[in-house]
Amino acid sequence: MTNLPKWSEVHANIVATSGGEEAVAEARRRNQAYIDGYRLAERRKSPGPFTNRGR
């Protein structure tokens, strides 16, 4: 079995090198906003449930 680091150790290292918990939380919010925007754009590109009904 491989010796992988524990998440708490990895997380502590990420927090320490990125500027603290608030910086990590802000990066997470920005990333989620990007994901939400991408998903919204994809939904707008796809045809809706009431398009092309033969009218």
Q: What is the pLDDT of residue 31?
A: 98
Closest CA relative to residue 12, chosen from 29, 24, 28, 1: 24
The DSSP call for residue 45 is H
Do 27 and 18 contact (CB within 8 A), yes or no? yes
Residue-level pLDDT at 50: 64
pLDDT at 12 (0 to 100) = 92
CB atoms < 10 A from the CB of 51, how many? 8
pLDDT (tens digit, 9 = 90+) per residue, 3-53? 999 999 999 999 999 999 999 999 999 999 999 999 999 999 988 776 655
Other CB atoms within 10 Å distance of the CB of residue 15: 15
**Residue of 4, 32, 30, 6 lying closest to 18 (CA atoms):** 30
Q: What is the pTM of this model?
A: 0.65
Place of tokens 């090198």: 17
Q: Delimit the domains of the chain by residue range.
A: 20-46
